Amino acid sequence: MSVSGNPRQARRLSYTVWNEFRHEKTDEAVREIYPAGMHQAIAGYLSQQEGLSVRTATLDEPEQGLSEEVLAETDVLTWWGHVAHEEVRDEIVDRVQARILEGMGLIVLHSGHYSKIFKRMMGTSCSLKWREAAEKERLWVINPHHPITRGLGRYIELPHTEMYGEPFDIPTPDKVIFISWFEGGEVFRSGCTWTRGKGKIFYFCPGHETFPIYHNPEILKVIENAVRWANFAGNAKVDLEAANVQPLETIES
């Protein structure tokens, strides 16, 4: 766990980049793109943006990087995982889910669609069709009213990506922000939002480990926008706890 940004500054948005961090250690091609890990590429960019305090966390750290303390201090969390989804302990998933319901934002990246935490929050299989053919992807902005699209053009073009195709087994999103076109002939809802409890969730498709996706300024801009959007701005006083309550009116029936 490392922290960048000035912790003494009050009210900075506290953002944690969680990464499985395995491909970067075992696969030479991935290491060349992300020598310090994907999380450092994302954290490097985000920590230079105004008002953000950025830390990273990875699977092989104590408590899989997500202690009660880290989560309590985290306003928004991004999640990248792939080969080690099953290693994430259920108690950690329980903990992350509880924090999301309390108001922590969650941004799930790429293969994180199959993570325990995303499946937990969605209630569905989160399955999709896929292909590794280094093909072209074009992410169309379909809801330009949404703050996640701020500063982008009509679409983002990625020359080489892994294809993720429909049907994507997810609950109806609150909003579909991006729909992707793939050179090989498929489409995909590549940016979707949901709310669960007091927490906001954003799934964002790009991020295959063998392409330099998290060095792309537009992709990083989307992540920055999503982090700001996912920060809790609701009612801290109204709780969602179960409670036995007294009547407010006289009961005569």
Query: Comparing C-alpha atoms, which of 183, 176, 66, 178 is closest to residue 115?
Result: 66
Q: 26 or 244, CB closer to a second copy?
A: 244
Q: 10 or 238, CB closer to a second copy?
A: 238
Q: 43 or 230, CB closer to a second copy?
A: 230
- Beta-strand pair 155-165/187-196: unpaired
**Distance, CA of 17 to CA of 23 (rounded, Å):** 16
Q: Is 159 one of the binding residues for a second copy (CB under 8 A)?
A: yes
- Beta-strand pair 76-80/187-196: unpaired
The binder of a second copy chosen from 12, 82, 85, 175 (CB under 8 A): 175
Q: Which amino acid is at 88?
A: V
57: helix, coil or strand? strand
Query: Comparing C-alpha atoms, which of 198, 222, 219, 51 is closest to residue 147?
Result: 222
Each residue 234-253 as x (binds a second copy by CB under 8 A) or -, in order, gives xx-xxxxxxxxxxxxx-xxx
Q: How far is the CB of 174 from a second copy (least distance, A)?
A: 6
Q: Is 51 one of the binding residues for a second copy (CB under 8 A)?
A: no
Q: How far is the CB of 100 from a second copy (least distance, A)?
A: 9
Give the interface segment with a second copy, choosing from 8-16, 75-83, 139-147, 214-222 (CB under 8 A). Answer: 139-147
- Beta-strand pair 199-204/13-19: unpaired
Q: How far is the CB of 104 from a second copy (least distance, A)?
A: 11
Q: Are 116 and 93 in contact (CB under 8 A)?
A: yes
Q: 42 or 100, CB closer to a second copy?
A: 100
**Distance, CA of 106 to CA of 90 (rounded, Å):** 17
Q: Is 121 one of the binding residues for a second copy (CB under 8 A)?
A: yes
Q: Is 44 one of the binding residues for a second copy (CB under 8 A)?
A: no
Structure tokens at 130: 């896929």
Q: 43 or 192, CB closer to a second copy?
A: 192
Q: Is 49 one of the binding residues for a second copy (CB under 8 A)?
A: no
The binder of a second copy chosen from 45, 149, 191, 227 (CB under 8 A): 149
Q: 7 or 184, CB closer to a second copy?
A: 184
Strand partners, 251: none
Q: Are 38 and 209 in contact (CB under 8 A)?
A: yes
Query: Comparing C-alpha atoms, which of 150, 153, 158, 148 is closest to residue 204?
Result: 148
Q: 58 or 161, CB closer to a second copy?
A: 161
143: helix, coil or strand? coil
Give, as one character, the DSSP assignment of residue 173.
P
Size of the site for a second copy (CB under 8 A): 84
Q: Is 123 one of the binding residues for a second copy (CB under 8 A)?
A: yes
Task: Restricting to residues 178-237, name those near a second copy by CB under 8 A.
Answer: 179-187, 189, 194-200, 232-235, 237
